[in-house]
C-alpha cells in the first residue's frame, strides 16, 4: 500500500514551485499544476528573455524567469541557462514586468528539459542553492529513460531527488494540458521526492505507476513500444493498405479504428485474451499467403512480430500442432 503523504507538509512543498524548461511538456504540466488551489506560486525558468505566449502566464500565481543565477558559472553553458553573480533575473508576467522576482527559494523544483541537459541543469541548480545556503528541496525530472542518478549534483548535497514521467504524448502544450487527468505517471526516486511526486499526480487527477529506478531504460522502452512504435506500425499498415488499392485517408481512418478496438479489448481483458487473427486461430495458410505478398524488407518484421503473437496464441490455448505449423512458416522467412 502506498504511504499517504502528509497534507500539511506537502502544502509547504507546493508553496513555491519552479518549472525549469518551457517546452511543450513543461508548459502543459505546469499549466495543469497551476490550476490547483494547493499550489502557491509557480515560476517557469527558461532561456528566452521573455515569457512564451501561453495562457498559463495570465494567472496571478504564475511567473516567468529568464534563467537563474549560479554564482560561479560551472556548467551553465552546457545547461543553456544564463548564469550571473548578480541578483536574480526579473520575472516577466503576461501583463507586467516586475523589478523583483518572487521572494523565497523554491520549495519544489521540476526539471522538464531534454534528457541530455538534465545533469547540467542539476549542477547549475545545485550551485545556486549551495551559494544561498538553501535548505534541502525535492527535485524531480520528467525524463522517462533516466533515473535519479541524472540529478546526482543535487543528491550529493542532500536534496531528495526523483522522477515524474507522464505516460502521455504531449504534442501540443495547450491541448495536452487537459490530458494529465487521464494519465499514468512513472514515479521513482527517494522518499520525500517520491511523496511530492505522488501528491502532484493526485493534484492533476492522474494515477501513480511506481517504477524501479534501476530499470528506467526498460520502463521507457515499454512506453516507446506502446506509443511510438504503434504509430510507426500504423504508418506501415497505411502504406500497405494503399499498395492494395485503398485511398490513403480512408485507409488511415479504417486502420486507426481497427487499432483502437484492439487496444480497447486488450485493456478490458489482456493481450492474450484480446488476440484475434490468423495466428490466434492457427491459420498457417494465411500466414504463408501474407509472407508471399510482402517485400523482402517487410517480411522479417512481419515474422518477428508474428513470433511474439504466436507466444500469446500459445498462452491463449492454441493447438500445439497448429502452433508448430505457424512457427515453421515464420522461421522459414528468416532462414
Average pLDDT, rounded, for the chain: 86
pLDDT higher than threshold 70 for residue 203: yes
How far is 101 from 163, CA to CA, in rounded Å?
Answer: 27
- Residue 118's pLDDT is what? 96
The full 3-state SS of 65-117, as one line of letters, equals EECCCCCCCCCHHHHCCCCCCCCCCCEECCCCECCCCCCCCCCEEEECCCHHH
How far is 69 from 4, CA to CA, in rounded Å?
Answer: 36
How far is 273 from 296, CA to CA, in rounded Å?
Answer: 31
**pTM of this prediction?**
0.81
- 313 alpha-carbon distance from chain centroid: 31
Residue indicated by cell numbers 498457417: 284
Residue 308: count other Cβ atoms within 10 Å of its Cβ: 11
How far is 327 from 321, CA to CA, in rounded Å?
Answer: 10
User: CA–CA distance from 326 to each of 189, 237, 292 (Å)?
Assistant: 44, 21, 14
Instruction: Assess contact for 31 and 52: CB atoms under 8 A.
Output: no
- State the cell numbers at 166: 507522464
Domain boundaries, the chain: 7-225, 228-261, 269-335
Range from 126-130, 167-171, 299-303 carrying the lowest mean pLDDT:
167-171
User: CB-based contacts of 196: which residues, under 8 Å, 6+ apart?
Assistant: 5, 10, 13, 108, 138, 140, 162
- Residue 3's pLDDT is what? 44
Percent of the chain with pLDDT over 70: 85
DSSP bridge partners of 210: 187
- Residue 145's pLDDT is what? 96
Q: Reading across the β-sheet that carries 16-20, which strands appear in turn?
A: 91-92, 62-66, 41-46, 16-20, 108-111, 139-141, 161-166, 184-189, 207-210
Residue indicated by cell numbers 484480446: 274
The radius of gyration computed from the CA coordinates of the chain, to the nearest angstrom, equals 25
pLDDT higher than threshold 50 for residue 231: yes
Q: Is 42 helix (H, G, I), strand (E, B) or coil?
A: strand
Instruction: Assess contact for 144 and 169: CB atoms under 8 A.
Output: no
pLDDT higher than threshold 50 for residue 137: yes
Band of the pLDDT at 131, cuts 50, 70, 90?
confident
How far is 134 from 70, CA to CA, in rounded Å?
Answer: 13
pLDDT higher than threshold 90 for residue 98: no
Band of the pLDDT at 49, cuts 50, 70, 90?
confident
How far is 215 from 302, CA to CA, in rounded Å?
Answer: 29
User: Phi-psi category of 296—alpha, beta or left, where left has phi over 0 and alpha has psi -120 to 50?
Assistant: alpha
Domain 7-225 CATH class label? alpha beta
User: CA–CA distance from 206 to each of 14, 33, 168, 191 (Å)?
Assistant: 17, 11, 11, 20
- Residue 94's pLDDT is what? 33
- Residue 11's pLDDT is what? 54
- Residue 202's pLDDT is what? 94
How far is 238 from 46, CA to CA, in rounded Å?
Answer: 40
Beta strands per DSSP E along 239-308: none
Amino acid at each position: 500500500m502506498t504511504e499517504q503523504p502528509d497534507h500539511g507538509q506537502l502544502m509547504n512543498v507546493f508553496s513555491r514551485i519552479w518549472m525549469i524548461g518551457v517546452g511543450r511538456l513543461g508548459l502543459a504540466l505546469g499549466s495543469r499544476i497551476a490550476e490547483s488551489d494547493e499550489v502557491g506560486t509557480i515560476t517557469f525558468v527558461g532561456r528566452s528573455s521573455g515569457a512564451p505566449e501561453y495562457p498559463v502566464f495570465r494567472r496571478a500565481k504564475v511567473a516567468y524567469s529568464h534563467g537563474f543565477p549560479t554564482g560561479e558559472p560551472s556548467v551553465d553553458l552546457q545547461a543553456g541557462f544564463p548564469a550571473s553573480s548578480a541578483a536574480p533575473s526579473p520575472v516577466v508576467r503576461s501583463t507586467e514586468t516586475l523589478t523583483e522576482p518572487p521572494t523565497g527559494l523554491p520549495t519544489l523544483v521540476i526539471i522538464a528539459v531534454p534528457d541530455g541537459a538534465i545533469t547540467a541543469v542539476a549542477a547549475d541548480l545545485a550551485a545556486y542553492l549551495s551559494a544561498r545556503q538553501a535548505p534541502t528541496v525535492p527535485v524531480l525530472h520528467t525524463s522517462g529513460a533516466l533515473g535519479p542518478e541524472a540529478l546526482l549534483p543535487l543528491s550529493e548535497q542532500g536534496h531528495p531527488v526523483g522522477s515524474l514521467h507522464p505516460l502521455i504524448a504531449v504534442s501540443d502544450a495547450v491541448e495536452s494540458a487537459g490530458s494529465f487527468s487521464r494519465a499514468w505517471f512513472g514515479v521513482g526516486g527517494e522518499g520525500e521526492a517520491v511523496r511530492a511526486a505522488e501528491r502532484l499526480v493526485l493534484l492533476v487527477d492522474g494515477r501513480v505507476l511506481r517504477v524501479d529506478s534501476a530499470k528506467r531504460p526498460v520502463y521507457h522502452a515499454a512506453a516507446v513500444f506502446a506509443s511510438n512504435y504503434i504509430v510507426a506500425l500504423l504508418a506501415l499498415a497505411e502504406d500497405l493498405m494503399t499498395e492494395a488499392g485503398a485511398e490513403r485517408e480512408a485507409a488511415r481512418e479504417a486502420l486507426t479504428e481497427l487499432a483502437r478496438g484492439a487496444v480497447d479489448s486488450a485493456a478490458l481483458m489482456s493481450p492474450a485474451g484480446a488476440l484475434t487473427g490468423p495466428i490466434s486461430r492457427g491459420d498457417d495458410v494465411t500466414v504463408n499467403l501474407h509472407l508471399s505478398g510482402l517485400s523482402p524488407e517487410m517480411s522479417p518484421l512481419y515474422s518477428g512480430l508474428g513470433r511474439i503473437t504466436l507466444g500469446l496464441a500459445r498462452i491463449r490455448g492454441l493447438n500445439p500442432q497448429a502452433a508448430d505449423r505457424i512457427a515453421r512458416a515464420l522461421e522459414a522467412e528468416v532462414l
